[in-house]
Amino acid sequence: MNKYIGHPSQLGGIEEVTLAKGKGKGMNLLQIKNTKDIDLTLVCDRCMDMSRLSYKGVNLGWFSPAGYVAPGLYDDSKGKGFLQNFFAGFMTTCGLTAVGGSVEDDGESTPMHGLISNTPCDSYNYYETEEEIIVEATVTEASLFACHTQMKRTYKISKTENKIILADVITNIGNKTAPSQVLYHINLGYPLLSETAKVMIPEISSKPTLERFQPKYDMRKTMEKPQAGFSEECYLYDVKEENGKAKIGMYNPDAKVGFTMTFTKDSLPFLTEWKMMGEYEYVLGLEPGNAWPIGRKTMRENGELKFLEPGESIHTEIVLEFTDKDFDL
């Protein structure tokens, strides 16, 4: 016991709050401080995605113009449901059976980036040990005559290091083969993101998603100032690995903050960079996944679409570590 404090929450811990107003009214959030330098918010009603994340008081993520939006407002009747509900935050999960734009695939109309990010948790709990704050959640994506997929999500937020571990187990709980597509839409924003930010992606190879991005290919890791009329760019990477893990990072000398992201290369073989340098829409996406965001139909035609048999699971892990010191990868 620490004799200098009256209650453990003086230094950190986890608190549950509910939004009272706006489009996010009624959503439950978990606000977490790790007793060192991490402040984190998880959204219980949006599959336990990460909204706010800061290190030593410096913001790392990006909020879209939509802000917090409750999942009950999701409406894809005009094909814009994902974008209208996309608060972004530090991480939005895409999937679990479709990633990318809305397409017709195998007799099914797949909504943009799937449904999981607009799905509330079935259940969740949290507790603390001497060394960690642990959050566990279960989220199910299922409907009649469709695939039944379930994600069991675990966060481990260290109290002794500035580190977060996110581990997901995604299982086909139905009775038929299901497409398996998941992408972790990590959204980096100001002040971590600016024209002085250094993006580190040790790559084996890379390519633009569309031919029109080719003229800007050599600038893919160079960040720019916010620009009016900027058109989004997207690049695909095969990242180098060591002992089955891929590692990328970013550091901004002006903000004196950076982070690394290490992910399991076998279950998350692809990395997508989404570069959007627009005014008020200023964000860099670094997105590991088992799919490119090019639409499920194209992945199927390319022979790259993953599947889960009934009872089969995939295990993913992402480790985030934060620093105020410059580094290279």
Answer whether residue 1 shows pLDDT above 80: no
Using pLDDT thresholds of 50, 70 and 90, give the confidence band for residue 124: very high
Q: Which residue segments constitute the domains of the chain, with CATH numbers given?
A: 8-323 (2.70.98.10)
Q: Say what the pLDDT of residue 144 is.
A: 93
Which residues does 276 contact at the CB level (< 8 Å), separation at least 6? Answer: 230, 232, 233, 282, 283, 284, 285
Asked whether the beta carbons of 270 and 290 are under 8 A apart, the reply is yes
Look up residue 160 and give its two tokens.
Answer: 């002794």
Q: What is the mean pLDDT of residues 216-224?
A: 98
Q: Say what the pLDDT of residue 75 is.
A: 94
Per-residue b or e along 224-236, where b marks 16 or more CB atoms closer than 10 Å to that residue's CB: eebeeebeebbbb
Could you read off the pLDDT of 64-87 as tens digits, one per residue? 999 999 999 999 988 899 999 999
> Measuring CA to CA, which residue among 195, 193, 204, 203 is closest to residue 250?
193
CA-CA distance, 63 to 86, in Å (whole number)? 9
Q: Say what the pLDDT of residue 73 is.
A: 96
Could you read off the pLDDT of 287-311 as tens digits, one per residue? 999 999 999 999 999 999 999 999 9
As a whole-number percent, the residues of the chain with pLDDT over 90 amount to 97
CA-CA distance, 130 to 133, in Å (whole number)? 8
CA-CA distance, 263 to 286, in Å (whole number)? 12
Q: Which helix (H) or strand (E) holds 298?
A: helix 296-301
Q: What is the mean pLDDT of residues 92-103?
A: 96
Q: What is the mean pLDDT of residues 211-238?
A: 97
Global confidence as pTM: 0.97
Look up residue 163 and give its two tokens.
Answer: 């580190």
DSSP 227: B
Using pLDDT thresholds of 50, 70 and 90, give the confidence band for residue 14: very high
Q: Which amino acid is at 55?
A: Y
| Mean residue pLDDT across the chain | 97
Look up residue 175 and give its two tokens.
Answer: 């009775």
Could you read off the pLDDT of 184-214 as tens digits, one per residue? 999 999 999 999 999 999 999 999 999 999 9
Using pLDDT thresholds of 50, 70 and 90, give the confidence band for residue 2: confident
